[in-house]
Amino acid sequence: MSRSIYRALPGRGRASNMALSTRHRLWLAPDHLLSVANQGYTEDYKRFYLRDIQSLTLQKTRRGRIINFVLGGFALGFAFWAFYGRLSGWDAVGLWVLAATGAVLLLGVLVNTVLGATCVCTLRTAVQIERLYALPRVRSALRTFRLIRAAAEAAQGALSPEAIDAGNAATRSAGTVTAALSHEAVPLTAKGTKPYRGRAHAALFSVLLLDACHSALLFRWQSVTMYLLGLGILLGLLASIVLALIRQADTDLDASLKRTTWRAMGYVMVSYVLNTAMFYVYMGMTSGSAPRTTPDVWQQMRSMWMTSPFDSPAVFVQEAFSLAGSGVIGAIGWVQWNAFRRRRRQPPPLAGEPPLPVA
């Protein structure tokens, strides 16, 4: 294997693109900087030649603190919930589930704190400003900037503060320049233009809202029919997600709507894992309580279906997750879909007129 010309730079980051998530990393070659965007099974590359780099900027953000605040808040909520459950005499398995969820959230806070402050980094050339998603943390970004700066200065030479001031004075008369903000306008994958009305997405978000209603009703009514109805809704949800994901490829659908569809996919997968785990937890609880008279699987499933969420924390977590997840994603999806439909109905602006404001 020939020796690679690339040297890995510190920092890895993720960005939501058309797909669920894209992993980004920077590599340094003797004459260029390579930005690699990994989408799981494919990689996209962008090269920035060192002689063309005009500037690198780092802007510290509050994202890390907000994430800590949200995760910490939820962790505290789960801790209080577990405490309340203990006082109310809930079974041990449910308390462990709540405590473990709180611990995972707390671990998230810890990891986020250790990784340090967050930032947004950009690279500017004569024709573009590219956001460097590979550098989401200040610490690694500073280290990477040091390495890129050394390489770029070796290719172009260094600028003293006086030279920068002189350059500023000389270009002040030029006023402003127009550059394409590629991190906002041009994603790494080519933007599709196929027209699409979004019916599959409307169906998906309707089924999600239906699922939320079904989960809400399960807090009041538990029966085998209700659970079979839930199974039907789940199958409908899977079919509509697959259909929406197929239909949205290479279309002019809003990126936010495409992201919400992928999030719905992620939610259904997490929900499947959670439901399977809860089923085993419930099986373990019922088998453990009466080891000598273990009922058959159908009896156990029937008993779980008939259990009120208020009687079992495991069932409560399952239904609350379903209600919150389906409700929130379905509602967000509907709002985005309606905005997309309204925008499509508006006539395009005439030549010379300013574009219509985007809601």
Partner 1 sequence: MPEELPAGPACPHCRAPLTGSLCNTPGLVHCAACGGSLQASVFPALFRPLEKGTSGERIGLEGDAGCFYHPGRKAVLACEACGRFLCALCDVSLGGQHLCPGCIETGKKKGKLDNLNRHRVLYDDVALALAAYPLVIPFVGWICSPLTAPACLYVAFRYWRAPMGVVRRSRWRFVLAILLAVLTLLGWAVLAVALVWAARSKR
Distance CA 191, CA 200 (A): 20
- Angle (CA) 116-117-119 rounded to 5° is 130
Q: Does 249 bind partner 1 (CB under 8 A)?
A: no
* Eight-state DSSP code of residue 288: H
Q: Does 181 bind partner 1 (CB under 8 A)?
A: yes
Q: Does 57 bind partner 1 (CB under 8 A)?
A: yes
Q: Does 193 bind partner 1 (CB under 8 A)?
A: no
Interface size with partner 1, residues (CB under 8 A):
69
Packing angle of the helix pair 255-289, 313-345 (nearest 10 deg): 170
Site for partner 1 in 265-304 (CB under 8 A): 276
CB of 202 to partner 1, least distance (A): 28
Q: Does 349 bind partner 1 (CB under 8 A)?
A: no
Residue nearer to partner 1 on the CB measure, 172 or 292 = 172
Q: Does 116 bind partner 1 (CB under 8 A)?
A: no
The helix (run of H) or strand (run of E) holding residue 66 is: helix 63-88
Q: Does 27 bind partner 1 (CB under 8 A)?
A: yes
Task: Report how far apart, in Å, the C-alpha atoms of 99 and of each of 28, 172, 320 are.
Answer: 44, 60, 16
Parallel, antiparallel, or unpaired: how do β-strands 32-38 and 22-28 relate?
Answer: antiparallel
Residue nearer to partner 1 on the CB measure, 33 or 218 = 33
Q: Which of 87, 89, 114, 168 binds partner 1 (CB under 8 A)?
A: 168
Residue nearer to partner 1 on the CB measure, 157 or 291 = 157
Distance CA 104, CA 101 (A): 5
Q: Does 191 bind partner 1 (CB under 8 A)?
A: no
Give which of 259, 358, 318, 272 is closest to 97, Cα–Cα.
318
Tokens 């080519």 map to which residue? 190
Distance CA 215, CA 220 (A): 9
Residue nearer to partner 1 on the CB measure, 104 or 164 = 164
CB of 181 to partner 1, least distance (A): 5
End-to-end Cα, the chain, rounded Å: 53
CB of 167 to partner 1, least distance (A): 4
Q: 101 Cβ partners below 8 Å, 6+ apart?
A: 78, 317
Q: Does 40 bind partner 1 (CB under 8 A)?
A: yes
Give which of 119, 66, 124, 75 is closest to 100, Cα–Cα.
75
Q: Does 133 bind partner 1 (CB under 8 A)?
A: no
* Eight-state DSSP code of residue 136: -
Residue nearer to partner 1 on the CB measure, 107 or 269 = 269
Q: Does 178 bind partner 1 (CB under 8 A)?
A: yes
Beta bridge partners, 121, equal: 58
Catalog residues that contact partner 1 under the rule CB under 8 A.
1, 3-4, 6, 8, 27, 31-32, 34, 36, 38, 40-47, 51-60, 120, 122, 124-126, 129, 138, 142, 145-146, 148-149, 152-153, 156-165, 167-168, 170-172, 174-181, 184-185, 276
